[in-house]
Each structure stands twice: as structure tokens, then as C-alpha cells.
Structure 1
Amino acid sequence: MVKYLIFLESFTKQKTIKTFLGNDYEVFATSGHLMELAKKGYYNLGVDLTKFTPYYDPLPEKNKNIKFWQDYLKKNKPTLILLATDPDREGEGIAQEIVKILQLQPHHYKRLLFYEITQQSIKQALNNPLSLNKSLVEAQNARQVLDRMIGFCLSPLLRKKLQALSAGRVQSVVLKLIVDREIAIREFEKKKEYIIQGIYEIQGEKYTLRQKDEKGKLVTYPSKEEAEKVKSQLDSIFSLINEEKEKRYIFPKPPFTTSLLLYEAKSQLSFSIAQTTKLAQQLYEGIYLKNNNKQTGLITYPRTDSCRLNKQFVEQVYQYIQKQWGKIYCQFSPQHQEKKESLTIQDAHEAIRPTYFSQRPEETKDSLVPEQFSLYGLIYQHTLASLMSSAQTQKTTYTFVNNGYYFTMNENVLTFAGFFVLNPDYYLPNYKIKKTSLLEKTDLKSLEVNKIEVKEYLENKPQRYNEGSLVQELERLGIGRPSTYNTFSRILLNRGYVEYNNDRQKHFVPTELGFKVNEWLQKNFASLINEKYTANLEAELDKISQGKNSYLEFIQKFWNNFFPYWQEISNKPV
């Protein structure tokens, strides 16, 4: 007879966890949410606007499963129901949906929290069952109601005014970021700047000499003609007047948060956000590995904004580093482990890391599809690098004079590999570091360059966002959360508000409709659709998660401020 019934979200996770459990356990999967905010009442908000009580309806496609579970509980009557949905705000909301739909009494159920699917983690969760976190449930309800209020109130206005499809709390701020960046690019292009530089080649390597003023600041010219005039006064010989050496440290990046993983997977593997999100979820939930003949969860929970790493895991990594390269390659006090965790970081979340450090990527290759293998390899190497010592370089700055004009040339040479030892072929060119110096043994006193050129200065030009850089910017601004990063760009593309500049780079460019939608929203709702206000709303939702604010107080205050102004705009003629 089954004593314990466990509810998860995913069928794959169900398969993995069953390998750790005996016959006393039955495992069901919800496959996501069971209920949604009802479409009824004022503007279909699904909220009683006197008491601000939200109303939820079961999702029609889940009715068959719900009926099966209800019948199962009547027949089997398990001793305890364990709610093991994902360890975040949304997972807590789904756990509450199970309680509500199955009409469970408090003594009938407990909450299980785990951040990796390993036998040790599951056993620890089973030995330490928790109560449902009412604060997290309130925060999830508040987020859903807030998004409904903003989306369902603004979208009809956009359809009436501009024949546009929708607006949203975060979606519209993301559109604003993309439009603002495009405007900044156009403004930059209006006022072009030019620089003068010399090109010196040695053994196939190119070095650049750039014109500086006496204080070392780059000299720029407002027109190409002015730059060409100065260039005409220069000789091909540059005289060395100073040489300055500086020791530098390059620290490894912190362990993967969701946003950093999405960025690096885009940068290094050319994976889209949707692709990385899907692959990471597969690696977390479990894959059948041929080398150990069982279903195995390969990484920790992939939706996190924490850089924290499990102490036991860290010790295993340090032992490996010392064995492979020596103690000097260990960074025993990484900067990212010393940082104070921000308000947004939930409970015991860890960074995204391999669940078993002993599970080397090469051992999984014949069990994973190529994309899974690439992402697992990236996570494994990045985590290893995050605990290794910094790379050390010597930067030499050479200062030259040419007919009274000053020029500098730099060379950055590796002096200690540190984490670069993992993949020097990748790190050296990406950090623009040379393995050995080509200039040290070269007579530079009178340097004859190969050519002198006038070039448009583009290094300060704002760059369009791609998926990876956009997610990084959202995290920096405190907008959105790891579980939602996958949605914003897809919505904007589907709505026709943005498009890709080309199929290779896939940088976001606002369409004419996107410009119009943003212009109208900023004209009428600038106080609502902006980065600071949206970040403040996210912070308030986090406070509800921590029990420092309440659903009712938050939603009531928002609606009472928003509704009168929205009503005024609604009544204006088209």
C-alpha cells in the first residue's frame, strides 16, 4: 500500500526521482499550472475590486488529470501528500493550486524543497518536510494579479488607439529599452568622430598606435578632414619616449545565475534563450546515462539569481584543482562567495552547477544530444573556472612621439595562467591577452609603422541588444526574474514590435509599430512603464515573498493609484 504521494511538475523529473524511492511512494506530475486567474468581472481582471480577492479557475486541459487524482485519493488514502513542485515563487503557487483543487487539509500535506535531483538531496528533503510558504503564495498571486491589471487595462487601449496587440508590465519596459537603445545609436551616428592610428606588424600580429593627448586621453576629431590634415604632418617613424609596465589580474566570472548562463550560452554556443532554457531544464530533470545505467539529474535548479555554491561541492572542486595543477590555482576566497546576497535571492538557492563534480562531460557524451553536451560542458567548465585563481598579466604601454603628436601602443602578456589553463585557446583571444611578448625583444626606439590611417571611432557606439545582453541588462536593472527571462523577447517578436537585424547576429531592432507603441505608452503612462518603477514593483513582490509586505496592501495601493489615471486616459478621444 502506498503511504506517500508526491506531486512534481515534470514527467521527466518524476522518472528520475522514482529511481531513489521505494514502493511506499507514488509520484504524479502536474505538468505546470493547474489553475489560472479567471477571466470575469471588471475588464475580465478576475479580481473582486472591493476586497481584491483573486478568483481562479481550473485549466480545462487539466480536468482529466484532476479527476484521476481525486479518484486515486478516495481509493488509496495515502498517509501524507508531499508537494515537491519547483523551489521558487511559481512552484509554491502550483503547490497551493494542488491543495485547493484536491481540497487538502493542513495535516494531509507537507512541502518538499530540493535544488538538485540527487539521492542525497531527495533524502534530505524527505527528512525535513516543510509547511507551505504562505508568503511565497501571496507573492505569486500578487504577481499574477498585477500583470493582469496592467496587461488587461493597457492592451485594449493600444488596440483602440494604435491597432497594436498588447502591453505588459515588463514586456513594455523591455520594448522601451530596445527603442531607447536604437535612438541612442541614431544620435551617435549623427555626430561621427574620427581617430588617427598607426599599424605596426610583426610576425603576423598587428599592433595599433593611437593618438593621445599629453594626459593620455584619446584624441578624436569631429570631421575626417581635420584628422587627415594632422595625418599629413606625420612621418612613418615613431620615436619611443616612455615605457610603463603594470601588473594586472583577470578574475574568473562568478558561477552561473540564470541570466549569466543565458548570456554565455548565447555568446559561446549561439543558443537562443528558449533553447538554453529547454536544454537546462532537461539536464536538471534527468537524462539516462549509459555509463552508470540510470536516470541522472546533471545540474542544479536552472532558475536562480544566486552565486552560492554548496560547501561540499566546493571542497571536491578544490581537491581536483590541487591534484591537477597545484594549490596555487585555487581561489579559496572567491569574490562572488563574499558578496552579500541581494534582496531577490530566495532561500537556499544555489548557482547553476553540475550536481556531481565527478561526472565529467566527456563521460556523458554518448548519452546526450550534441546541444545538451555543449551546454553541460559549458556549465561544468564555467563552475570549475569560478573557483580557480585569477589569471595574471603584464600590461606594457609604450608612448611614442611623431612631429609633436603623442601615440601609445599596448601589449598585454600572460604571466600566470590561473583559470586560463582550462581553455587558453578560448580565453587568450577573448581577453586580448598574448601568450608571449613579441615586442619585448624588438628595438622600438625608432618604430617604422606599416601604415597610418584615419578611422571612424566606433568603440563608444551603443550596441543593439541581443537576447543574451538584454537579459544581462534586465538583471542589472532588477527587472524580471529568472523564471520569466524566456518570455519577453518572444512576445515582442510575435507582436511585431521588434525584429532581428539579420539571421546571424539576431540583434533587436524596433519596428515602426514598436516605435509608435513605445511613444504612446511614454506619452500617457511614463510613470508606470519605466525601468525604475518596474524594478520597484519587483522589489515589492520580493518583500511579499519574505513576509515584509502583504498581497492586499500591495495590490490595493497599486490599483488605487493606477485606476483613476488609467480611466482618464481611457476616456480621451482616439
Structure 2
Amino acid sequence: MAHTLVIVESPAKAKTIGKFLGRNYTIKPSMGHIRDLPKSQFGVDVEHGFEPHYITIRGKGNIVKELRVAAQKSQRVLLATDPDREGEAIAWHLQHLLELPSGPIRIEFNEITRNAVQEAIKRPREIDQNRVDAQQARRVLDRVVGYRLSPLLWRKVRKGLSAGRVQSVAVRLIVDREREIEAFQPEEYWSLTAWLLAGGDGEAFPAKLFKYLGEDPAIKNEGEMQAILAALEGITYVVTEVKQRERRKNPAAPFTTSTLQQEAYRKLNFTARRTMQVAQQLYEGIDLGGSEGPVGLITYIRTDSTRIASVAQLEARDFLMERFGPDYVPEGLRQFKGRKDIQDAHEAIRPTSVWREPEALKNVLTRDQFRLYNLIWERFVASQMQAAIMDTITVDISAGPCLFRATGSVVKFPGYLRVYQEGSDGEGKEQEQRLPALATGQTLELQSLEPKQHFTQPPPRYTEATLVKTMEELGIGRPSTYAPTIETILERGYVVREQKQFIPTELGRVVVDLLKEHFPDIIDVEFTAQMEQQLDEIEAGKLSWRQVVAEFYEPFTRVLERAEREIGTVELPEEVSEEKCDLCGRNLVVKTGRFGKFLACPGFPECRFTKPLLETIGVNCPQCGGEIVARRTKKGRKFYGCQNYPECNYVSWDKPTNQNCPRCGTRLVEKASRQGVRLLCPSKECGYEEKNQQAK
């Protein structure tokens, strides 16, 4: 049999595939891209159809030599890079650098398992030039924006800034949301809950005011609430209607790249970048030892599809039948509807075998690998299970001019809930509440009335989960771009992350405003989404990539030239502090860097004095009594430590308070969410928690 060289991207992938193929195969990694546009030059020939000038990436010369030698020794070369645009482009560059002939040299598989790899070897295909062109179009468009617009920002605002088709729109979303919050005017409103008894020794149950004088209640102030309370004095509470029904609750679809990043953030506190790093490890292969050896545990991780291969669905049904019994297996194979604009190139993210249960792999996986694999496995298994059935009851209770409504629900059949419950972005979990047996015409006893004052809340700031969700819904970027986009806007100092929420910096606001005024298309959500659609059409063979780039480049160049003339130097407003420069005595000003705010001398570059800006929180250190200050890690994450560091090593991720735990005496910390602020004890052995705190 002829000797075959198979080229993949990474050593981990090479090791896994090598176990599936015989001695007639050599597996070599390219270590990702081996050819790209030059970093120090524009690298695009505008005069000749936007022809890219590719060069071998610095440091990859020895890899190319090694691959050339291996290719010359082999009778056949197969390119097994990832099954997406980037993977297709890497294969195309390898073909050119290694001078491989055209023809069926490309193999593709959605999971790195023995069967999938061996089947792919039998069905090589030609390189898909449309996919390559779509990747080239994205690369050239990003180069045009980055290498033409970023230098303008350097000259007009600050050195080291960058702009991009996707990142600039992401920053705009965060800035626009912050301005909505700042402009928000809270409005007062009131709610009323009646606590009622059905007689006997039962507990009181709550019923909310549902109608007042036949209309939806809009209680705007305490006076209106007092009028309603007065109208209820001495009134009898009578059950007027009881509705019971059975409600089916279907499971969520298997993970796409976006929903995996969102759920890993909600449930595991993983950033998008961390999620993708760990998922890549699970996809490329984990050595399970024994007879299995290295094997890919999940399918390809960059996908926007919820489609599942029928063979995987049938395997899941067999698993469910054995583990849970026939009641948990739906009648037919579950199908999930995807968004209209998805590419649907690959199926959803799932375990390569549902029989590899997470607990059985715990000893061979790292903690992060286990937690993410468990999340993917549970989501997939639940997606193939029978719906949960809830018994719900709605009771209307008449009380003079008021109509109260009580609702309750009980799980009648858990279905998929035995395995998995989907997370939320702070809207609150559905509460189970049992109501006593009630009948129409039954008189109830009032235990108490509970009026509550509320204020309308502004829209919440974006978290990683909600930003990724919004970008996907608006069609901004694609599965592979969410994580690097978030990393870029944090590194550039356009936004900071506090208590898991994105807050724009003054720099971010200035850049967004400048781009809005002079480059409205670059920062326009719809325009960016249309560009993504055009890239999809290039991949489908419906558009020429050079035409798409030309239609963008010509008007962009005209706008750039006008902006160069019209934009003056933008002065970022500086906050002057009371602290003096140790070298020249001037008042230090507050600056913002990639790690947050710091103090610097305004005499720069003559005077380069800087010092940390210590944000005190009015709390004393529990170890030495010094001031607790807020600090940031190199990745921008906020934490709290003692001002006397390194003499005192007290640190906490959560905001400390001046209160001590009533159980164990440990200093309590704050945990914030949309529901408010919880005070809890950081000692895992204690577990003390206070939930009724006002949100800050």
C-alpha cells in the first residue's frame, strides 16, 4: 500500500489521528496557519484585483521544510485541517507551499473518532475554492479596515488603538447600552400580594393583584395604593374560577458555538476564550488509556447548527432506553429549528459517543475539561429526551373591586429535567409552588396584605453571555469570532469588566463617537450583518470575493480621505487628582490602560512618573486593619486586596464588607446579580448567606 502523509493543524490532533491509522500513514501538524499577509505591510495589491501578498509566517520556516521532506517521501498527501473556512484556507496554503497537485487531496470529518477518520480517508475531495475565497475576503476586508483606519486613530486619538468591522460594532453596543442606562429615568410603581388561607391548618398562599375595577392595575404611588387598601377593608375573598391544565416543557437544543459560550459563562463562569480553549482540547483528543487511547470526545466546536446526525440520535435513544426506560424516550427523533441565516455546515456540538459518561472520564480529564464535557454531554442527552410535564393551576379570587390571581405548578413527569436544566441571564428560575385544593365559590380567609414599592429598572449591562447572544441575533461576526472580539476590546482598553459586566471606558466612548460621525458604515449593525451575509454568499459561489471587496473599498477610501482632512486631534478628557508627582510636583491625572485606571504625570514624555490608582471601598482589612482597595489582574479582572501588599497578602475576588459572619466570624463578602446583592460567608465549611440586601 502506498505511503500517505496526512497533515493536520495541531500535535494533539496528530497524536489522536495517528492511533486510528496504520503504519502506512505519517501524521504531521502544520501548527495552524503557515502563510498569511505580512504584519509590517498592507500586503494587498489594490491595483490588481486586491491580490493578497502571502508570506510564510515568521518562525514557520522549519515546519514548512519538514512538511516538504515528508511530502516528497510520500506517494500521497492528504490535508485534514478543520472543516471550516479557516481550515480550508490552511489546506489551500499548504497545497501551494508544498506544490501539491490539484485533485482529491482534502479530507474532512466532524469528529475525531476511528470510524469518522477512516471513512474520511476513503472519500477525499478537491479543495473548496469558494470556502477559500470567503476566508480571503474576510482577511482582506479586515486588513483594509485595520491598516487604513487604525493609523488614523493613532494620529487623531492615541497610539496603539485599532478598529475593525466586528470589534467596533461590539464596542458600540456596549457604549449605546451604557448611555441608555445613564439616560434612564426610574418610574415608581406598586404591587399588592394577598396572603390567603383556605381553612384548616394549611399554610397561607400568595395571590397577586391581577385586576382593579376590571383594568390592569397601574399603581403609581403610595396614595393610589392606600386607596386600594381602603377599598379592601372588610371585603370577603371568594374563589371565582379554578383552571387546571397540563403543560409540556420541551428541552433546549444541543449546543451551537454561541449557546455553548453563553451557558459555560452562566454555569461554569468560563469566559468565551476559556470555553473555546477547553472545547478545542476535547475535540482534538484526550488519551483515555487502555484499549481506546486518544479519542476526540466532542464533535467540531465551531458551528451555528442545531442539527444532529441520525446515527447519534439513535445511539442516544438506546442509551436513554437502558438508563431511564421507555417513558423518557420520545416517539420520534427530535428536530430543532435553527435561525434562518445559519450556515448549517456542521451538526451541533455533542459527545462523539453518549456512552462515554462524564463520571467515567473524571480521572483522565482536567477539572475544566470535565466540567465542560459534562455540560455538553448533559445538554445533548437532555435534548433527545421526552418533554417534562407540569401540572399548573390558576385560581382567580374576587375581593370587591379587586381580582387576585394565584398560580402554582408541580412537576408531574420530570422528563429531560432529570438530566439538565437550562441556565438563564438573571431572569429568575421558574418557581414550583403548590396550592391547596380550592373550589369555585369557596370563601378564603385573609391573613395579610403585602403592598410593595418598586421602581422600573434600566436595561442591564452586557455580560459575555448576553453580548455573544446579541451579536449572534444581529448577525455580527460568526462562531469563530466571538471570543477573539471580546478579548480585543478588553485589551485595547475600550471596555472594562466589573462584576462580570462590560462598562465602556472614556476611550471607548470617544472612539465610538468618532466612528459614528465619520465612518457610519463601519460601526453600523445592519451594514456589518450584511457584510457577513455577503461572505456566506461567496462561500456558496453566488458572489465574487474581489467584487465584494471592491464595492467596500472604493467608498471606504473616499470617506477615509475626508475624515483625514476633517478630524482634528481628539483630546481625551482627563481627571485631575489631588496627588502630586513625586518627580516634578504637578498634579497627577487619571489615565486608563489595558489593566484599568492609573495615575500619571501630565508632563509626559518629559516626566514619565506613574503610580497605581488605588480605589478604596471604605472597608478595613480583616488581617491587618489597612484599607481594602480594588485592583485588576493582567487580564482586566477586578479583585480586592489590602493596600499594605506585599506585607499583607489578603485578597478576595468578591467585594469584602465590614460585617462578620454571625456563625463563624469570617468577614462577609458581596455577590451581586440582577436580583440584588447577597451577603455570604467565603468559608466553604460555613455556607452562611443573607439574600435580602438592596442592589447597589
Whether the TM-score (by the shorter chain) exceeds 0.5 is yes
Give yes or no for the alignment of 1:126 onto 2:127: no
Matches within 5 A, 1:46-445: 46-74=44-72, 76=73, 78-106=74-102, 110-163=105-158, 165-188=161-184, 190-198=185-193, 200=195, 208-213=206-211, 219-223=217-221, 226-227=224-225, 230-231=228-229, 234-235=232-233, 239-290=238-289, 292=291, 294-333=293-332, 336-337=335-336, 339=337, 342-347=340-345, 349-423=346-420, 431-434=429-432, 437-440=434-437, 445=443
Equivalent residue of 2:164, what SS? Answer: coil
Task: Decide which of 503, 507, 516 is 1:509's aligned counterpart.
Answer: 503
Shift of 1:160: 2.8
* CA deviation vs aligned residue, 1:430-462 (integer Å, no higher than 9, x gap): 75242x72433699732434551323155x742
What is the CA distance between 1:104 and its match in structure 2?
2.1
Equivalent pair of 1:198/1:453 in contact (CA under 8 Å): yes
**Alpha carbons 2:213, 2:401 under 8 Å: kept:** no
- 1:400 CA drift (Å): 3.2
RMSD: 2.9
State the aligned residue count. Answer: 560
Cα distance change, pair 185–141 in 1 and its aligned pair in 2 (3 A): same
Other structure's SS at 1:197 match: strand
Instruction: Report how far residue 561 of structure 1 moved.
Output: 2.6
Match of 1:454 in 2: 452
Counterpart residue type for residue 186 of structure 1 = E
Please say which structure displays the higher CA radius of gyration.
2
Report the equivalent of 1:12: 12
Q: CA distance change for structure 1 residues 224 and 9 in 2, over 3 Å: closer, same or farther? A: farther
Q: Does the Cα contact within 8 Å between 1:112 and 1:129 map onto a contact in 2? A: yes
Residue 239 of structure 1 and its aligned partner are, at CA, apart by 4.5
SS state of the match for residue 27, structure 1? Answer: strand
Which consecutive residues of structure 1, in runs of 5 or more, have no partner in the other structure? Answer: none
Inter-partner Cα distance in structure 2 for 1:215 and 1:174? 47
Pick from 513, 519, 533: which aligns with 1:539? Answer: 533
Confirm or deny: 8 A CA contact 1:194 1:220 kept in the other structure: yes
Kept after mapping to 2: 8 A contact 1:195/1:211: no
- Verify: 1:29 aligned to 2:25, yes or no: no
Deviations 1:374-404 (A, max 9, x none): 1111111110111112212233222334452
Shift of 1:205: 9.1
User: Is the Cα–Cα contact under 8 Å of residues 395 and 412 in structure 1 kept in the other structure?
Assistant: yes
Equivalents in 2 of 1:561, 1:251: separation in Å? 49
Aligned counterparts of 2:475 and 2:5: Cα–Cα separation in 1: 38
Whole-Å separation in 2 of the counterparts to 1:555 and 1:217: 57
In the alignment, is the contact (CA less than 8 A) between 1:235 and 1:402 conserved in 2? no
Secondary structure at the aligned position of 1:482 is classed as coil
Q: Structure 1 vs Structure 2: percent identity of aligned residues?
A: 34
Return 241-250 or 128-137, whichever deviates more.
241-250
Indicate how the Cα distance of structure 1 residues 573 and 261 shifts in structure 2: closer, same or farther if over 3 A, else same.
Answer: closer
Aligned 8 A contact 2:194 2:446 in 1:
no
Structure 1 residues 332, 568: closer, same or farther in 2, change over 3 A?
farther
SS of 1:5's equivalent? strand
CA offsets, 1:547-571, max 9 Å, x none?
1111111111111232212221222
Q: For 2:541 and 2:215, how far apart are their aligned partners in 1?
A: 51
Distance in 1 (CA, whole Å) between partners of 2:79 and 2:196 is 65
Distance 1:199 1:404 in 2: 14
Query: Which amino acid in structure 1 is aligned with residue 63 of structure 2?
Result: N
Contact kept? 1:85, 1:92, Cα under 8 Å: yes
Alpha-carbon distance in structure 2 between the residues aligned to 1:58 and 1:223: 70
- Equivalent residue of 1:351, what SS? coil
Aligned residue for 1:557?
Answer: 551
Secondary structure in 2 aligned to 1:86?
A: coil
* 493-502 vs 317-326, greater mean Cα deviation: 317-326
After superposition, the Cα gap between the structure-2 partners of 1:16 and 1:232, relative to the gap in structure 1 and judged at 3 Å, is farther
Cα distance, 1:466 vs structure 2: 1.1
The whole-number CA distance in structure 1 between the counterparts of 2:216 and 2:447 is: 19
Letter in 1 for 2:506: E
| 2:2–2:76 Cα contact (<8 Å) kept | no
Instruction: Provide the C-alpha distance between the structure 2 equivalents of 1:208 and 1:62, rounded to a whole number of angstroms.
Output: 68
After the TM superposition, which of the residue ranges 147-156 and 88-97 deviates more from structure 2? 147-156
Farther-moved stretch of structure 1 (542-551 vs 510-519) = 510-519
How much does 1:361 deviate?
Answer: 1.2
CA–CA distance in 2 between the matches of 1:196 and 1:221? 7
* Inter-CA distance 215–569: structure 2 relative to 1 (3 Å threshold): farther
Question: Structure 1 residues 181, 399: closer, same or farther in 2, change over 3 A?
Answer: farther
Greater relative contact order (CA < 8 Å, ≥ 6 in sequence): 1
Per-residue displacement from partner, 1:263-321 (whole Å, max 9, x unpaired)? 11111122111111111111111111146451121111111111111111111111222
Once the two structures are overlaid, the 10-residue window that deviates more, 12-21 or 203-212, is 203-212
TM-score, normalization by structure 1: 0.90
Structure 2 residues without counterparts, runs of 5 or longer: 569-696
Distance 1:235 1:323, change over 3 A: farther
In 2, the alpha carbon distance for the partners of 1:515 and 1:201 equals 52
Tell me the TM-score normalised to structure 2 length.
Answer: 0.75
Contact 1:239 1:445 in 2 (8 A): yes
1:220–1:320 CA distance, 2 compared to 1 (3 A): same
